[in-house]
Structures are given as structure tokens and as C-alpha cells.
Structure 1
Amino acid sequence: MKENLFGSLPSRPVLIRYESERGARTGLLLDDRVYDLAETSGEARYVDMAMVLTDWPAFSGWIKKFNPITHNPTVLVGQVKLLAPLANSGSLYCAGANYSDHEAEMAAAQGNASVNQKGARSWHFLKSSHSMTGTGSTVRVPAASSALDWEVELAAVIGVKGKDLAIETALDHVAAYTIAIDFSARDLSRRQDVPERSPFRMDWLSHKSFDGACPIGPWLVPADNVPDPQNLDLSLSVNGDTKQRSNTSHMIFSLAEQIRDISERITLWPGDIILTGTPAGVGSSRGEFLRAADIVSAKVAGLGEVRVLIA
């Protein structure tokens, strides 16, 4: 990996979306060079990342053989604005309470000895794909919230349709990995004008799916370049102060188990994204929340960095 103004740039090809004079384009990024994917591959439909993922089994073979010597770069990465690598993709499945250190943190915050009621399978909630935004974006605190929280997560992007998948083959359905920040408006999760015991008390839409609630990126790293998704360091900082630092080995349910569990209930499709949970260090555990002008940075080893400004 090389260092430049974007942080670490990839020495092996990754997939990006970027802003151009022709609008949003899909590209292949290698070192500091961007290759327009539709032009380089000769497949006009690859201007849309969704089509790349739909064709993933064939496309993954092409990207493995990519030789920069035989192609001219379209532009240097420092000359473009990176967008979220997927736009309005399929479903965003978000794992809840899926790190052992986060489980212990929540138990302590709630005054319990242990949560220890995780059930036999992982559980997920849905986040709107329209809430995604890219690195370098400005995320506005929802008008009614004063408790915006952060969560760094490893995200897996599905590239092969699957239903009722076995653990042994689950990861074969992953096209790529990326970084996600699951922002949460904690004080909007419960409707204050509704009685506490009412079934209408909870408000997950306001809590988790406001505009900008899911920064993602900076690019998609093909799964072949991530030998073990269960051994990746991840961290999140606010204004340079590290708030979360852990490793994906501390997941309660592995990614393969999550894919199995989701696919038992609903078919997974190319373009679906699984956010695999967050470790300890969230703001609500310490009574800290984000404010305007804060800079949030999330990193996962080998996947780059996502950085956003809070407004």
C-alpha cells in the first residue's frame, strides 16, 4: 500500500465509483490511477456497479487478469471525488450486538452481569440503502437529535445469489469487502409521545435510516484479496481520538454464520450488503455523542479509510 492524500492506496485493483464530467462512473483503482471500468473492460453496462456485481463470477476472473501495462488510466485518483462504491444497492442487513466486547459494554451500561441472551442465530435489522454516502461526505445530525452515535463495521457485499446457504460455502457468495459506519440517532429510537409499553414505542427508521446514516467505502476490495475476514483489525476515531479498536475475531457470529442465518429467511442477491456488527467503544456507553464540526474516521485493515464531517 502506498501513502498519499487519501491515506493508503491499493497496490492491487479495487473498485470505486467516482464523480466525472459524464456523471457518476465506475472505475478500477490501482495505486493512484483510475481506469474507467466500462471503457477498460469493453462492457458499457459496467458504468453501473450493480451490473458488475450481477456479473461477479465472470467479472472476478477478468479483474484477476487485469494488466495495467495494456491499459491507459483515465485519470489520477487525486483528481476525482470518490463516491459511495454502491448507490441505492440492494438490502442493507445490519448485525446487532455481535462483538463480545460490545456485548460486555452494553451489559455494564445496563447494569447487568451479562447480556448472554443472543439466541441460536444472529439477528439483523434493515437500514435504508438510500442512507449510504461516500468518504469525504458531510453528514448532518438529524434535526431532532442530540445523541448521534458511531459504529465502525466490516461490510460484506454479496456477488452471488443464494438461499439456505451452508456455513462451508457461505463466503463463496461474497464479492467484496468494504468499510461502513453505522450512525445511530440514539434519542430517536423511542418515540417520547408514546407510552413506554406501547408496541408503537420503537422508531428504527428515525434511529438508523436518516440521510447519511451509512457512510461506506472508500472502495470495494475483491474477496480474493481478503484471505480471512475473521482476522481484521478495525478502529474508529473522532477528531483523531480513537474511540473503537478491536478485531473481527471478536465477532459472536462469524460472517459465514450471518450469511447462513440471513439466507435461511430471505434470498441474498448481488448488491446486498451485510454490516457485520461493531465492537466496544460506542458513544452511548460513555455518554459521548457527535457534534457539528467533528471528523469521524473508520478503518479496517487492508480496506482503506472512510472519513466524514459532521454538520
Structure 2
Amino acid sequence: MKTFSLGTFSHEGGDRFAGMCIGDRVLPLHALYTVALEYGAEWSANASVLDLLQDWDRNLMVLRALRERIPAQHTCEVPMSNLRVHPPVDLPRQVLCTGANYRKHVVDLTLDMGVGPPGLEGPALRKWAEDMMDERKANGEPYVFPKLPSAITGAFDSVVLPATTLKPDWELELAVIMGRPARNVTRERALDYIAGYAIVNDVSARDLIARTDYKMLGTDWLRSKSAPSFMPFGPVLVPACFVPDAQDLRITLKLNGQTMQDESTADMLFDVARQIEYITAHVQLWPGDLVATGSPAGNGTHYNRFLREGDLMESSIEGLGSQRNACVGPLTPQPA
């Protein structure tokens, strides 16, 4: 089976275009358009990845047939390193994130923050937290919140640390990209609605999550999650048919060369299918929408070490590629 992924790219100063990625080479889809028509393609010559996702089942068949025709070398191929890499879906209409979804991550946070019944500490507090997570997995529900698409940036773009936060934190996550409209989808059928998988980093302002002016308001996802560049996405979308098991992928983040997150997606409390079931019970998902499925243990909160200007995050998920994001200081405010 010949594999491929999809992405969105541009030459320096040029227009963005959808590309089929084979290893580290990119074939612009517009250069393959004539051959694609032979297989029944109904997309336009300049279709975006989001356009392709609107009729994903049909278009995937065409793309797979097209991939079989591509030679070992193609006259139109370009090394990915020679291109600007944009978010593969540029841009999703909706972004949803599942929080507190890795068992070890939540247990560690419980110990780090000392949250628990009075008098419990050390091994007893850990045991309490582990039992609580097991009960939640058996009888609870995912915790999902929206993030604005304007937070999305490319896999190799800089993350801008705004002046509004003192505790910007990393959260590497497996992303699901939808390939069908989805509403009231059962867990048993949920994976059929997925077009593919990608990498995202749900960068968060830890000190802005909880409202302190009026605590009954609870969490404030707008100010803590949606600053521009707070979601590196990509570099590519890998079709779901090429990912044997999304619940068995190694997910790793390094900060300045030091490994901070290194976990398997098997540690999710609620797997991908359960998340889609839960989300679509409450809202409508559209093709191209992105669901970030939670971050494993090893966030900055655990180390009491948050992102700073000059930091470099290097992230990877098995089979989905890698990201490289430098952290830069806040942009200079523009005059009115």
C-alpha cells in the first residue's frame, strides 16, 4: 500500500497550494490535476485541502488511485524544506479541545497542586487521584472546550508569547480532522467520520485559565487558549487509513533538547471514538473541523517551568511528522 499525506504550502511570496506529500517531497495537486480527472476527480484545479475534505470518501479514492501512478521521481516535486509549510487545513472552521484526558497527566497535576481531601499527601494522595481517574474513565464524560481558529499557525512558525501571561505552557496533542458532517454519532461508528490525523500543540496561558475576579465564572478559555500562534498545526494531515491505531502512538515534546513529554496515546481516559461520540451529541461537526484529543503528562505546570522567549519546542507524534517552534516575545503594539 503506497502511503501519502496532505499539506498546504507556498513558495516564497507565492500563493498557497495543496500538495500530496510522499516522504519529504511535495507534489502540488494542481500539477497532478489532469491525471486526477482520469480517476473521476471533481475538485477544481486549485482546490484546497479543506475543499477536498468536503467530499472526503470520494476524494480519498481518487487520491489513492493517483498515488499509484506517481513515479519514484516526478518533474513537479519540490522538497518540503524548500517551501513555506502552512497548517494542512488552512483553516478549520471549528476547533474543539478535550482537556484533562490523560490519566498520568491528571494524576501528576493533582499531586503537583496538592488538590485532594484534607490530610492526604504523598502515596495516599496519588492513590486517591488514580482511583478518581479510573472512576471517571468508567463512568464520566470528556471535558471539551472550543479554541478559536485564529490561534492556528504552521508547524515551523514561531509561537508569540503575549505580554498578558507569565505562564505560557506547552500541550502536545494528537489532532483528529473530520471527513464527514457528524451529529449524534455512536462510538461504534465514530472512526468512520475521521479523514485523518495530525499534530497540534495546544499552547495555554496557565495563569489565565481560572477567573479570579468572579470565581463562579470558572474557566476562561478565550484569554488562556486562543492567542494568535497558540496552536501550531501540522506539518501534514495523514489519512486515517494509513494510521493503524490512533490509540497506540508515541507522543514526544522536547524543550531546548530536553524531553518533557513522552507518552503513548494509550493513556487517554476517553479514546478518540468516545470523544467524537460525546462532542457530536451536543454540537454539529463539519468536514475539516479539528478535535485536539488531550495532552499527556509533562506540561510546564509539572516542572514549574514555563515557556520563555528564546525557547525551542521540538515535537513529534509517531507516523505524523514533527514540529519545530521557536518562542518569541510579544509583538510591538501597533499605533491606533
TM over 0.5: yes
Deviates more, 1:170-179 or 1:75-84: 75-84
Equivalents in 2 of 1:253, 1:198: separation in Å? 27
Higher helix share: 2
Aligned pair 1:250/2:242, yes or no? no
Aligned pair 1:260/2:254, yes or no? no
Corresponding residue of 1:271: 288
Cα shift at 1:57: 0.6
1:131/1:213 contact within 8 Å kept: yes
1:238/1:295 contact within 8 Å kept: yes
Equivalents in 2 of 1:187, 1:207: separation in Å? 8
Corresponding residue of 1:38: 30
1:83/1:133 contact within 8 Å kept: yes
Deviates more, 1:61-70 or 1:244-253: 61-70
Aligned pair 1:151/2:171, yes or no? yes
1:142/1:185 contact within 8 Å kept: no
Q: Equivalent residue of 1:219, what SS?
A: coil
Corresponding residue of 1:133: 153
Corresponding residue of 1:221: 238
Gaps of 5+ in 2: 35-42, 117-124, 329-336
Cα shift at 1:202: 3.8
Aligned pair 1:186/2:206, yes or no? yes
Aligned pair 1:58/2:49, yes or no? no
Aligned pair 1:212/2:204, yes or no? no
Corresponding residue of 1:48: 48
CA deviation profile, 1:206-258 (whole Å, cap 9, x unmatched): 10000001001010001000011010011111011000110011100000000
State the one-letter code of the partner of 2:221: W
Q: Equivalent residue of 1:265, what SS?
A: coil
Q: Equivalent residue of 1:190, what SS?
A: coil
Aligned pair 1:91/2:83, yes or no? no
Corresponding residue of 2:20: 28
CA root-mean-square deviation: 1.8
State the one-letter code of the partner of 1:91: Q
Cα shift at 1:191: 4.4
Deviates more, 1:76-85 or 1:39-48: 39-48
In our comparison, the structure showing a higher alpha carbon Rg is: 2
Cα shift at 1:46: 4.8
CA 24–274 in structure 1, closer or farther in 2 if over 3 Å, else same:
same
Cα shift at 1:139: 1.0
CA deviation profile, 1:176-228 (whole Å, cap 9, x unmatched): 10001010011122345x14x343x6422110000001001010001000011
CA 295–59 in structure 1, closer or farther in 2 if over 3 Å, else same:
same
Corresponding residue of 2:194: 174
1:87/1:129 contact within 8 Å kept: no
Equivalents in 2 of 1:163, 1:139: separation in Å? 34
Gaps of 5+ in 1: 1-10
Equivalents in 2 of 1:76, 1:147: separation in Å? 37
CA 198–166 in structure 1, closer or farther in 2 if over 3 Å, else same:
closer
Equivalents in 2 of 1:47, 1:293: separation in Å? 37
Q: Equivalent residue of 2:234, what SS?
A: strand
Question: Number of matched residues?
Answer: 298
Deviates more, 1:290-299 or 1:15-24: 15-24
Q: Equivalent residue of 1:61, what SS?
A: helix
2:155/2:234 contact within 8 Å kept: yes
Equivalents in 2 of 1:108, 1:78: separation in Å? 42
Cα shift at 1:137: 0.5
Q: Equivalent residue of 1:170, what SS?
A: helix
TM-score (norm 2): 0.84
Corresponding residue of 1:122: 142
